Amino acid sequence: MGPDKTIVKKTDREKPFIPRTKPGSVKVLVVDDEQQGIKMLSAMLAENDYLIATANSGYGGYQAARSMLPDIILLDVFMPDIDGLKVCAMLRKTPETRHIPIIIVTGSDDITIRSKCIEAGANDFLSKPVDPVELNTRIRNLLFLRHYERVTDENKALAESRDLIEKSRQEWEDTFDSLEDIITIHDADYNILKANRAARDLLGVDIQSAPAHLKCYQYYHKTDTPHPDCPVKKSIKTGRPAMSEYYEPALGKHLEVRVIPRYDSSGLATGYIHVVRDITESKKTHEALESAYTKLKEAHSQILQQEKMASIGQLAAGVAHEINNPTGFIMSNLGSLQKYVEKLTEFMMFQSEAVSPDKAEAVAKKRKEFKLDFISEDIHNLIKESIEGAERIKRIVQDLKSFSRVDEADEKQADINAGIESTVNIVWNELKYKAVVKKDYGDIPLTRCSPGQLNQVFMNLLVNAAHAIEKRGEISIKTWEDGGNIFATVSDTGSGIPADKLNRIFEPFYTTKEVGKGTGLGLSIAYDIVQKHNGEISVESEVGKGTTFTVKIPVVSGPKEKGTDRGK
């Protein structure tokens, strides 16, 4: 037995029909330790144009099979190194050779050997001496079987792949249709290629049965051209994702639109994923949060303003108390002084008349020199003016005491005319340099209210009226009763308020004044106070002519109480 060697032979004779092969492409490996056997089989195979490889040992045959992967192996049973049974078993355990058909060539008729060959994995047998026709037939049959197995395996794998693809496609479709967002897939010409269930329901069209050119803008916006702010248009232009928000009146919804380009393997955008999300509820939530924040901010500012007014009220009450005491002393002393002066004047007149004639001339001269007649007359005027001034101080103190109750929420029967008059006195310094104040108080009944808070309303209206007048102008105050309601108007001849700002005039923090000259809370607080009284406050204005605020308070009757406020 010589060394292992592999020999490949090829002939040009007519080839048998071999499935899925070309002439001379079927490789047959012959494994036999006897050269005579190899030559005999090779000659038979060459007759049918097979590619022939040979090995003269069991191990050599195993290595040759692994390296060349033949289509058929002819394997002798009895070999000195490894017999054919072991080689067959080894080939069946090796993944790359386990499916190669093996024909056992043996000169033995022992049924036991053949049984062991079947157990080892052999596919067929040939008895020596080998018949050429039988050899070719066995090879063709095994090739057909191998071809059938391969086709069967491929068909099975193909069917499994199709099932997997279909399953994946269905999973994708189900996922696509399960999304609540409205999703469509477009090409670069705005045509809708695919739509999920939410989009189909919205568009009211079955994409599969729709016209070939189903333009997105025709169905989303009912137009013949893309919307100017269309995110698809932006994405086509930039090649990047785009987003927009808009309100769709037909749906009554706020929508958010996102567009993501689809790229091919070369990086070119070939289509677009169009995602529409209903953000109506989130928009409402956001607006509610903004509104809540604004109200919280307003409430906080109003609390600060009320605390400020309460502090001013406490200060005013304290100042009023401190002024009231010395004013009382002054009033009392001036009254006494007036009586004393009257008695002194009367005594001086009596004394002047009682002087002897010889001294009368000298007394008259001194009387004239000291201007006693002028002093007597003027001192009465000085005392009178001082008393009037002290009385004014007393009235202002009384108004301060009344205004110091702006933080009181308790209701009582009150005279609105008296409240307005007190407020005018309090803010008089703001008014007197800017305008002539005209008052037309009507005959109005008492009403149950929070007088201090209403005074704050009128204070804001009066101060705003003064601030609206650039030069000397006029402020008019008028009250009247009509239909169970008390009306009070504050009019000015100021610059007026533009029409586009009138509808915001009572909003918190909105002001028409220059930065730093107003908080924007005065009219908002006034509005709230009037609302709490179940009343109304309105405004009319004309630029360049002036503004009129009207306060309407319902008359609410009630028992006359200890704290009833009525104008003096």
Could you give the CA distance from residue 142 to residue 99 in angstroms, rounded to a whole number? 11
Name the 3-class secondary structure at 369: helix
Of the chain, the percentage scoring pLDDT greater than 90 comes to 26
Residue 6: pLDDT band (50, 70, 90) is: very low
pLDDT at 13: 38
Asked if 5 and 56 count as a contact pair (C-beta separation under 8 A), the reply is: yes
Could you give the CA distance from residue 49 to residue 15 in angstroms, rounded to a whole number? 6
The DSSP letter of residue 321 is: H
pLDDT at 517: 46
> For the segment 348-402, what is each residue's pLDDT rounded down to a tens digit?
777 666 666 667 777 677 767 777 777 777 777 777 777 777 776 766 666 655 5
Residue 507, class by beta-carbon neighbours within 10 Å (0-12 exposed, 13-18 middle, 19+ buried)? middle
Tokens of 489: 């108007």
> For the segment 217-248, what is each residue's pLDDT rounded down to a tens digit?
777 777 788 877 788 878 877 878 888 887 87
DSSP β-ladder status, 102-106 and 124-127: parallel
Q: What's the first-to-final CA gap in the chain, in angstroms?
A: 147
DSSP β-ladder status, 485-492 and 546-554: antiparallel
Compute how many other C-beta atoms are within 10 angstroms of the C-beta atom of residue 28: 23
Could you give the CA distance from residue 451 to residue 408 in angstroms, rounded to a whole number? 8
Of the chain, the percentage scoring pLDDT greater than 70 comes to 78
- Most confident of the ranges 202-216, 365-379, 436-450, 552-566: 436-450
pLDDT at 53: 93
| pTM, rounded to two decimals | 0.40
Could you give the CA distance from residue 280 to residue 286 in angstroms, rounded to a whole number? 10
pLDDT at 426: 81
Q: Rounded to the nearest 10 degrees, how much is the dihedral formed by the CA atoms of 193, 196, 200, 201?
A: -170
> For the segment 520-529, what is each residue's pLDDT rounded down to a tens digit?
567 888 888 8
Asked if 70 and 29 count as a contact pair (C-beta separation under 8 A), the reply is: yes
Tokens of 277: 């999300």
Q: Which of 548, 542, 367 is nearest to 465 (CA)?
A: 548
Residue 138, class by beta-carbon neighbours within 10 Å (0-12 exposed, 13-18 middle, 19+ buried)? buried
Inform me whether the pLDDT recorded for 421 exceeds 50. Answer: yes
Inform me whether the pLDDT recorded for 173 exceeds 70. Answer: yes
pLDDT at 18: 40
Could you give the CA distance from residue 396 to residue 297 in angstroms, rounded to a whole number? 35
